[in-house]
Amino acid sequence: MSLIALPLGLGLALASEAPPISGIIAAVVGGVIVSLLGGSKVTIAGPGNGLVIVLLAAIGTLGGGDLYQGYLFTLAAIVLSGVLMLLLGFLKMGRLANFFPASAIQGMLAAIGIGILAKQFHIMVGHNNETGTIIELLLTIPNDFVDLIKTADINMLFASGIGLVSLLIMVFYSKIRNKYFQLIPAPMWILILSVGLSYFYALLGKPYPMSVDYLVSIPDDVLTNLAFPDFAKIMDSEFIIAVFAITLIASIESLLSIKAVDKLDPLNRRSNVNKDLKALGLATVISGLLGGLNVVTVIARSSVNVNNGATNKSANFFHAVFLVGFVLIFQEQLRRIPLASLAAILVYTGYKLANPESFRKIIRIGKEQVLIFLTTLITTLFTNLITGIAAGILVTFIIHMIINKSISLFISNLFKPNILLFKEEDEGNFYLSIKYFCSFLNFHKLKNKLDVVPENMDLVVDFSMCNFVDHTVLEGLENYGAAFDKKGGSIELIGLDKHEADSFHPFAIRKILPVAALKPIERYFTKRQKDLEAAARDYDWKYIAKKNTNTSFLENFVFFHTREVGYFYNLLKDAKNGCSVFDLEWTEGAFIAKEVVKTTMMHIQLDIDIPVFTLDKEGLLQLIYSLAGFSAISIENHPDFNRRFNLSGENESAILKLFTDEMVLFLESHPYYHIESNGSSLLILKKERLLGVQEIKRMIYFGQQLHALVQHKKIYP
Amino acid sequence: MEMHPHPFKRILFGFAFSPTLEINILETTRIAHFFNAKLILLHVGKKTEEKSGIVNALLEKIDFRDDAIEIQWEEGKPVSVILEACTKFNIDLLVLGALQHENMYQFYVGSIARNLTRKVNCSVLLLIKPSSERVPCKHIVVNGLDAPETPVAILDAFYAANAFGAQQITIVEEISQQEIHVTVEDDLSLMKANIVKERLKHREESRVRKILKSLPEAFLKNIKIKTQSIFGKRGYSIGHYAEIVRADLLVMNAPKKTGLLDRIFRHDLEYILSDLPTDLLIIRK
């Protein structure tokens, strides 16, 4: 681990125009404190790449040209931001990161990546003294190559050579599949090779063609040459803005990383985010006081940590200890590291952040996400991070209002509670229903509820009363789904089928259709529909999403005597055995009292005739059945069955023949389903709502067994 | 000790000459019939030949013409006239028609119906979708809050269920998040919170069972009783729940006196009043 932390620590400090050693201090302090006090298990703490741009700006503006003085002022800002993070931790504000739209965060990360890349590219090709805004830096990159051709400066040529070779190593490292080569991470290879090169020159007795300007500078005695913060500018507005910017980015980067690393944890533990924030805050305060950079949780190093088999906090601790040892023992060698090779490592990191692939992903989700992403990206590049993210939030909100053609949907419902979570008493699974709208603005409310559901339980999330769902929420739910999957539970989204979407992507914004009937359902594929399709493939059944109004086969079921069948959709059909499962829309009552209900049902066409009966537990439908001329039937010697179920029908003797001991035992030992027969087919339903895919699979299993039993076949073939 | 309901003997309905007048009168006369109560129809405004003609014509159409129905005409401000009438006629139940959703203005300034709900000193039944045909009331949801008024609310829910012929009553125990005392931050606190929740659930259920025991047995017959505990915001969760299970009637305890501040910092009943999920019966003694 220390092998990666060392070059990255040095590089990130350099990229922020701070002394290289400050990055190492942050990594050491972070490693020790966070491992002792933090709440997460496998994360690594240290200086973070997201902060580079903020720190760079802070050092530049606060110092007013004098980089070292700027660095001292920035240290003070770092200390205060640490105090703020500590406060956030104590106030349990670990959920703050959820207030930002996902695409805006993507845009911000891309901007940070471009910022790092723009600056470091110059250093990589031997131009150490380029300054200017990010845009200017980007535009002058071609000039560097023109320079390289014209120049006679051997130092510059040599540096650029090392830089480009280093970049190639970074790019092709993952392509080389060699066990021994992969033992040492790419950044360390770069350091070893470039430092080795300088020794090679010494061996040949030739002067090393790089002056001190092109090499890393480290104070002679690290321990006595620590820098201390200067609090002189504490009341300046620039200073205060810097503090807030640092805190904001440090918290977001840490929180996002912790969430991402939790997904990698082999033991599936949940990190205590607030405890982590507190530890990071304290570590930042100490690091700042000793002249180090901010301490944040870092995803890249943490994931390497997990890949190397880490399962507890000791990795973080020892990475810090080794780092100290490394710096103290190899001081002489560290001074031989060329800046260009560190810059190459950073150029690659920057490129990864601003990866065109992530942009392509956003395009697939929807046009409006591109607008949010680009607004954040461009605003950040031209102004600063805080303005950038604020612009991103504003644009997201405006887009949401335009899509819904309504401001009041958001304004009047923002502060109302809109989420109901309860454990369904008979089934033991959790049910969560969302009203009004669900977007990044109130996602924290949903998260609060999701967090209290144990991940090994089944959870059904119902959006049928929710008018609008945005990308941030759907992506967040997907992440929760992954966590549930790992621990043996599941999350299923229902009620999204009627929402309109702009693209086929599962995370696309969805809004409820005003005139739902006008558009074909199958155009807006939901995750549930995709899963249904996959399930159909598993069973070798047919899946048809299309609406179908040919519902005559349902009419002679008593259940529909007082209910009007609309249409069915999302049909799963087993042509061989006459089984089918579908979502049915039906209405009850008339005029104003009319209610539209959607229910998932299973229908089984039988080869033989059986008596007409209904088997019902709730007792709710008794009234209708007595109207239909049915009478309650009790089965001898099965008092338990009689108490739990209401069996009714006309032809009592035929029904009693059908309900053999075997049948009664089967029904008693399986979960409850409402079952009806119309003489030639069976209708099975669970609840008066749509079912999740897992619930459907259970229903199919039940239905198939019942089918076999009714046809007098064996239950287990 | 067995409790007995305070029957709804005198029901007041304040009517206006709106397009829904006929439906409203059909619905309220039906309700009065179910409770076997005397219905007083009150109009705030001047009595004219034309108007009383319309009302009498409507009363000819109703299903239960033998029931005692009285028509009163009073002039003045609607809210205060109805409030006075409630005391004057010794009313047990006030029936009001209400909009299902309030917009911002209506919510803060208040429609007449909701204003009355907050001020009146008898039980109130808010109807959101009266119908000319009878829509059977099948499922009643009642709150099972840990409050002194709750046993009466549950008792009256059973009273109403028997009067309307409802088949199921769900008693919802809302347990506020604060009672858990554990903030879920990691696996350990999650486990703790769930243990606490199970314990609270059992406590609430045994409390509700105790209330059920004190009800007259005749009331409990033929009705399927379910309990559901919900951890969430009090007063909000039950409304949302009633909407999900498509209950036909929601029975709630009366709120304490509320002012404008309570509407800004909403609690309990105010959530439900702003977004009525079903017909709502508020029990006040």
CB contacts < 8 A, A to B, total 98
Q: Is B269 on the interface with A (CB under 8 A)?
A: no
Is the same domain home to A474 and A621? no
Is the same domain home to B124 and B57? yes
**Residue type at B152 in one-letter notation:** V
Within a domain: A302: yes
Is the same domain home to B165 and B114? no
User: What is residue A677's predicted lDDT score, i.e. its pLDDT?
Assistant: 85
Q: Is B139 on the interface with A (CB under 8 A)?
A: yes
Is the same domain home to B113 and B144? no
Is the same domain home to A437 and A562? no
Q: Is B164 on the interface with A (CB under 8 A)?
A: no
- Please report which residue ranges of A290-438 form alpha helices under DSSP H: 299-307, 314-329, 331-334, 339-353, 356-365, 367-382, 385-404, 408-411
Q: Is B20 on the interface with A (CB under 8 A)?
A: no
Is the same domain home to A498 and A553? no
**What's the pLDDT band for A464 if we cut at 50, 70, 90?**
confident
- Residue in the structure block whose two tokens are 């207030």: A99
> Do A61 and A267 meet the contact criterion of CB atoms below 8 Å apart?
no
What lies within 8 Å, CB to CB, of A641 at 6+ separation is A635, A664, A667, A668
- Is A224 a residue whose pLDDT tops 70? no
Q: Is B66 on the interface with A (CB under 8 A)?
A: no
Is the same domain home to B195 and B221? yes
- Record: contact A422-B168, CB cut-off 8 A: no
DSSP state of A578: T
- Measure CA of the first residue to CA of the last residue in chain B; give whole Å: 19
Nearest CA in chain A to B187: A270
Within a domain: A28: yes
- Residue B40's nearest CA partner among B11, B61, B63 is B11
The SS3 of residue B278 is: coil
Q: Tell me what the pLDDT averaged over chain A comes to.
A: 78
Kindly report the CATH number assigned to the domain that includes residue B108. Answer: 3.40.50.620
Which tops the pLDDT comparison, A428 or A509?
A428
**Residue type at B73 in one-letter notation:** W
**Helix and strand tally (H, E) in chain A?**
27, 19
Residues of B in contact with A408 (CB under 8 A): 103-104
CA distance A21 to chain B (A): 35
> Using CB atoms within 10 A of its CB, is residue B226 exposed (0-12), middle (13-18) or buried (19+)?
middle
Is the same domain home to B121 and B149? no
Return the percent helix, strand and coil in chain A, to nearest 5.
55, 15, 30
Nearest CA in chain A to B191: A454
Closest CB from B136, B232, B246 relative to A421: B232
- Name the domain boundary from A355, A371, A392: A355
User: What is residue A310's predicted lDDT score, i.e. its pLDDT?
Assistant: 63
Kindly report the CATH number assigned to the domain that includes residue A451. Answer: 3.30.750.24
- Residue in the structure block whose two tokens are 């909403």: B266
> Do B155 and B5 meet the contact criterion of CB atoms below 8 Å apart?
yes
**Residue type at B267 in one-letter notation:** H
Paired residues of B142 in beta bridges = B171, B251
- Is A516 a residue whose pLDDT tops 50? no
B78-91: b (≥16 Cβ within 10 Å) or e: bbebbbebbeebeb
A420-432: b (≥16 Cβ within 10 Å) or e: bbbbeeeeebbbb
> What is the rounded CA–CA span in Å between residue A599 and residue A585?
7
Is the same domain home to A505 and A553? no
Nearest CA in chain B to A622: B167
In the β-sheet with B139-143, what is the strand arrangement from edge to edge? B69-74, B38-44, B10-15, B93-97, B123-127, B279-283, B249-253, B139-143, B168-175, B224-231
- Record: contact A465-B243, CB cut-off 8 A: yes
Q: Is B228 on the interface with A (CB under 8 A)?
A: yes
Within a domain: A196: yes
CA distance A425 to chain B (A): 7
- Is A423 a residue whose pLDDT tops 80? yes
> Using CB atoms within 10 A of its CB, is residue A357 exposed (0-12), middle (13-18) or buried (19+)?
exposed
- Record: contact B231-A412, CB cut-off 8 A: no
Within a domain: B37: yes
Residues of B in contact with A92 (CB under 8 A): 183, 185
User: What is residue A622's predicted lDDT score, i.e. its pLDDT?
Assistant: 52
Within a domain: B143: yes
CA distance B75 to chain A (A): 32
DSSP state of A553: G
Nearest CA in chain A to B270: A416
For B35-66, write each residue's pLDDT tens digit.
Answer: 888 888 888 777 788 878 887 887 777 777 66
Q: What is the pLDDT along chain B (285 residues), one digit of tens a residue?
A: 567 777 888 888 877 777 777 788 888 888 888 888 888 888 877 778 887 888 788 777 777 766 677 888 888 777 788 888 888 888 888 887 765 555 444 444 446 666 777 777 888 888 877 777 777 788 888 888 877 778 888 888 888 888 888 888 888 888 877 777 777 777 788 888 888 888 888 888 888 888 888 888 777 777 888 888 888 777 788 888 888 888 888 888 876 655 555 555 555 667 777 777 788 888 877
The DSSP bridge pattern shows strands A579-588 and A563-574 to be antiparallel
> What is the rounded CA–CA span in Å between residue A81 and residue A229?
13
- Record: contact A416-B271, CB cut-off 8 A: yes
Within a domain: B285: no
Nearest CA in chain B to A448: B184
Q: What angle do CA B111, B173, A92 make, to 5 degrees?
A: 90
**What's the pLDDT band for A670 if we cut at 50, 70, 90?**
confident
Counting every residue written for chain B, the total comes to 285
- Record: contact B131-A275, CB cut-off 8 A: no
Distance of CA B193 to the CA centre of its chain: 33
Phi, psi of A367 (to 5 degrees): -60, -40
Is the same domain home to A467 and A568? no
Phi, psi of B252 (to 5 degrees): -130, 155
Within a domain: A530: no
- Residue A21's nearest CA partner among A232, A304, A215, A225 is A225
Q: Which domain holds residue A77?
A: 2-102+152-355
- Record: contact B226-A417, CB cut-off 8 A: no
Is the same domain home to B86 and B8? yes
- Give the largest CA-CA distance in chain A: 109
CA distance B206 to chain A (A): 15
- Name the domain boundary from A355, A375, A406: A355
- Name the domain boundary from B132, B163, B185: B132
Q: Is B150 on the interface with A (CB under 8 A)?
A: no
B237: enclosing H helix or E strand: helix B236-244
Please compute, for residue A605, the number of CA atoms within 13 A of its CA located in the half-sphere on the CB side: 10
Within a domain: A402: no
Residues of B in contact with A273 (CB under 8 A): 185
CA distance A597 to chain B (A): 10
Q: What angle do CA A467, A473, A477 make, to 5 degrees?
A: 115
Please compute, for residue B128, the number of CA atoms within 13 A of its CA located in the half-sphere on the CB side: 21
Query: Range with the lowest mean pLDDT among A79-83, A473-477, A512-516?
Result: A512-516
Within a domain: B283: no
Is the same domain home to A515 and A549? no
> What is the rounded CA–CA span in Å between residue A669 and residue A527?
32
- Is A590 a residue whose pLDDT tops 60? no
- Record: contact B228-A422, CB cut-off 8 A: yes
Phi, psi of A310 (to 5 degrees): -75, 140
Is the same domain home to B82 and B191? no
The SS3 of residue A620 is: coil
Q: Is B222 on the interface with A (CB under 8 A)?
A: no
Phi, psi of A110 (to 5 degrees): -65, -40
Within a domain: A58: yes
- Name the domain boundary from B132, B151, B170: B132
Residue A523 burial (CB count, 10 A): 10
Nearest CA in chain B to A618: B224
* Cα→Cα distances A551→A628, B182, B268, Å: 21, 51, 44
- Please report which residue ranges of A367-428 form alpha helices under DSSP H: 367-382, 385-404, 408-411
Within a domain: B166: yes
Distance of CA A561 to the CA centre of its chain: 47
- Record: contact A619-B187, CB cut-off 8 A: no
The total domain count for chain A is: 3
User: What is residue A259's predicted lDDT score, i.e. its pLDDT?
Assistant: 74
- Record: contact A425-B227, CB cut-off 8 A: yes
Within a domain: A404: no
0.80 surpassed by pTM: no
What number is the average pLDDT over the span A2-23?
A: 76
Q: Which of B30, B240, B269, B274 to mutate to test the interface with A (most CBs of A within 10 A)?
A: B240
Q: What angle do CA A474, A476, A480 make, to 5 degrees?
A: 110
**Residue type at A713 in one-letter notation:** K
Is the same domain home to A515 and A543? no
- Name the domain boundary from A329, A355, A381: A355
Structure-token pair, residue A594: 């009319």
CA distance B195 to chain A (A): 12
- Residue B204's nearest CA partner among B231, B224, B182, B184 is B231
**What's the pLDDT band for A505 if we cut at 50, 70, 90?**
low
- Residue B44's nearest CA partner among B8, B11, B86, B10 is B86
- Record: contact A590-B133, CB cut-off 8 A: yes
Is the same domain home to A432 and A351? no
CA distance B47 to chain A (A): 31
Q: Which of B244, B249, B265, B267 to mutate to test the interface with A (most CBs of A within 10 A)?
A: B244
Is the same domain home to B92 and B2? yes
For B103-113, write each residue's pLDDT tens digit.
Answer: 444 444 446 66
- What percent of chain A is predicted at pLDDT more than 70? 83
Is the same domain home to A427 and A512? yes
Is the same domain home to A498 and A438? yes
Within a domain: B264: yes
User: What is residue A650's predicted lDDT score, i.e. its pLDDT?
Assistant: 79
Q: Is B26 on the interface with A (CB under 8 A)?
A: no
> Do A44 and A315 meet the contact criterion of CB atoms below 8 Å apart?
yes
> Do A490 and A481 meet the contact criterion of CB atoms below 8 Å apart?
yes
**Residue type at A395 in one-letter notation:** V
Nearest CA in chain A to B102: A412
Is the same domain home to B79 and B127? yes
> Do A556 and A678 meet the contact criterion of CB atoms below 8 Å apart?
yes
- Is A688 a residue whose pLDDT tops 70? yes
Is the same domain home to B127 and B72? yes
Within a domain: B27: yes
- Is A440 a residue whose pLDDT tops 50? yes
- Is A94 a residue whose pLDDT tops 50? yes
- Name the domain boundary from B78, B104, B132: B132
- Record: contact B241-A422, CB cut-off 8 A: yes
Residues of A in contact with B230 (CB under 8 A): 420-422
> What is the rounded CA–CA span in Å between residue A143 and residue A591?
75
Q: Is B187 on the interface with A (CB under 8 A)?
A: yes
Residues of A in contact with B168 (CB under 8 A): 618-620
- Record: contact A272-B240, CB cut-off 8 A: no
DSSP state of A547: -
> What is chain A's Cα-based Rg?
32
Is the same domain home to A165 and A250? yes
- Record: contact A417-B131, CB cut-off 8 A: no
Residues of A in contact with B189 (CB under 8 A): 272
Is the same domain home to B144 and B127? no
Q: Is B246 on the interface with A (CB under 8 A)?
A: yes
- Residue A259's nearest CA partner among A131, A409, A100 is A100
User: What is residue B90's predicted lDDT score, i.e. its pLDDT?
Assistant: 84
Residues of A in contact with B274 (CB under 8 A): 416
- Record: contact B185-A275, CB cut-off 8 A: yes
What lies within 8 Å, CB to CB, of A563 at 6+ separation is A586, A587, A588
Q: Which of B102, B186, B274 to mutate to test the interface with A (most CBs of A within 10 A)?
A: B186
For A325-383, write each residue's pLDDT tens digit.
Answer: 877 777 777 777 788 888 888 888 788 778 787 788 888 777 788 888 899 888 888 88
Is the same domain home to B141 and B269? yes
- Record: contact B168-A452, CB cut-off 8 A: no
Is the same domain home to A258 and A348? yes
Within a domain: B284: no
Q: Which of B187, B200, B279 to mutate to test the interface with A (most CBs of A within 10 A)?
A: B187
**Residue type at A656 in one-letter notation:** L
Q: Which domain holds residue B157?
A: 136-278
- Record: contact B232-A420, CB cut-off 8 A: yes
- Record: contact A620-B138, CB cut-off 8 A: yes
Closest CB from B185, B233, B243 relative to A417: B233
User: What is residue A140's predicted lDDT score, i.e. its pLDDT?
Assistant: 78
The total domain count for chain B is: 2
A483: enclosing H helix or E strand: helix A471-486
> Do A134 and A379 meet the contact criterion of CB atoms below 8 Å apart?
no
> Do A264 and A303 meet the contact criterion of CB atoms below 8 Å apart?
yes
> What is the rounded CA–CA span in Å between residue A113 and residue B136?
64
Q: What angle do CA A406, A411, A415 make, to 5 degrees?
A: 145
